Amino acid sequence: MIHLLYSDQFLEHDTGRPHPESARRLLSITKALRGVNWADQIVWHEPESVTQPDTLFWVKQLHDEYYLTKLKQMADGGGGHWDPDTVVSPRSFDVAMLAVQACLAGVDLVLETGEVAFALVRPPGHHAVRSNGMGFCLLGNVAIAAHYALSLAGIQRVAILDWDVHHGNGTEALVDDNPAIFYCSLHQYPAYPGTGKAKFTGKYNNVLNIPMPALQDNITYKAQFDHRVMPRLKEFQPDLLIVSAGYDATEKDPLAGMNLQPEDYKTFSEYCQTLNCPILFALEGGYHLQAIADSVIATLEPFI
């Protein structure tokens, strides 16, 4: 079966009508998933209905209390702009916590079932750093999930593969001092947020940054998977792979300049499958409504 973690509450993080990171993204993805001819193989999970460890405990392992307090205060006060890109609405703090919770539940699900799960969450997380939200992200969903997974029996190494077109500066900063976590990012460079140079390899050589110029298609990406991403992932031998699944490297994406097609993510998933370990996908960016829906479906097709 294919497990999806999703709640309508994720729609309540209200960024305002013109904002690219809108609730319409999840509406497009979930509508498309309900219409696939393998919909009977999908199990939908409400994150709140899944038995959870203390989500706040795990959030506090990676985020400063001061930042969390300020974030909650802004939400409780009616919301506002955290920075010019990053909006906080009245429900944003709780929804961001629920996004983390969905990722933690996703870790539990893939480890318990041995089947794939996709956390269809927002706000995204890979730009959020210890004491700041940025780039549409409030909490480090995937980094927190990786640390949580390492607390579980039998999980000694967690790999994070970040194929969002932007460098996951937040995830990198939250994991680069932990040799039990390997972080690999393929991203457009130069581009937002300006980090992700290849020379940055983490404190334990546990970071692989693959910056690429704009306009790359699946030929470039496949070469990177073949020669750099997969050899390092296989060498690391993760007990769990978490994919920061952003879909803004598609040709139609309005915010970036790569040339991937939705079906290319099927190939990326097939690469992930060769690791023979549990896999959790968590949504990051991706702003073309049809392209992200098609891409999520393509990502899941190898698991049908």
- Per CB under 5 A, the list member of 21, 85, 108, 164 interacting with Zn ion is 164
Distances (CA, A) of 165 to 244, 252, 284: 10, 13, 10
**Total chain residues near Zn ion (CB under 5 A):** 5
Between residue 125 and residue 144, which ones bind Zn ion under the rule CB under 5 A? Answer: none
Residue of 162, 239, 248, 294 that binds Zn ion (CB under 5 A):
248
122 near Zn ion, rule: CB under 5 A: no
Q: Is 253 an interacting residue with respect to Zn ion (CB under 5 A)?
A: no
Stretch that binds Zn ion, among 25-33, 242-250, 258-266, 271-279 (CB under 5 A): 242-250
Smallest gap, in angstroms, from Cβ of residue 227 to Zn ion? 24
Q: What are the residues whose beta carbons fall under 8 Å from the beta carbon of 43, sequence distance 6 or more? A: 1, 2, 3, 4
Q: 190: phi > 0 → left, psi -120 to 50 → alpha, else beta; which?
A: beta
Q: Taking phi first (over 0 means left), then psi (-120 to 50 degrees means alpha), and beta for anything else, what does residue 124 get?
A: beta
Least Å distance between CB 166 and Zn ion? 4
What CA–CA distance (Å, rounded) separates 45 from 3?
7
Closer CB to Zn ion, 128 or 180, in the complex: 128
Per CB under 5 A, 246 contacts Zn ion? yes
- 43 burial type by CB count under 10 A (0-12 exposed, 13-18 middle, 19+ buried): middle
* One residue of 3, 166, 187, 288 binding Zn ion per CB under 5 A: 166
167 catalytic residue (yes or no):
no
Q: Which DSSP state fits 250? A: B
**Cis geometry, peptide bond prior to residue 18 (ω within 30 degrees of 0):** no
Give the residue with the Cβ less far from Zn ion, 287 or 303.
287
Which CB, 211 or 246, lies closer to Zn ion? 246
Residue in 127, 167, 187, 288 annotated catalytic: 127
Per the DSSP assignment, residues forming a β-bridge with 213 are: none
Is residue 123 close enough to count as binding Zn ion by CB under 5 A?
Answer: no
- According to the binding rule CB under 5 A, does residue 285 interact with Zn ion? yes
Q: Distance between CA 229 and CA 300 in Å, rounded? A: 20
85 binds Zn ion (CB under 5 A): no
CA of residue 124 relative to chain centroid, distance: 7
What are the residues binding Zn ion (CB under 5 A)? 164, 166, 246, 248, 285
Catalytic residue numbers, as ranges: 127
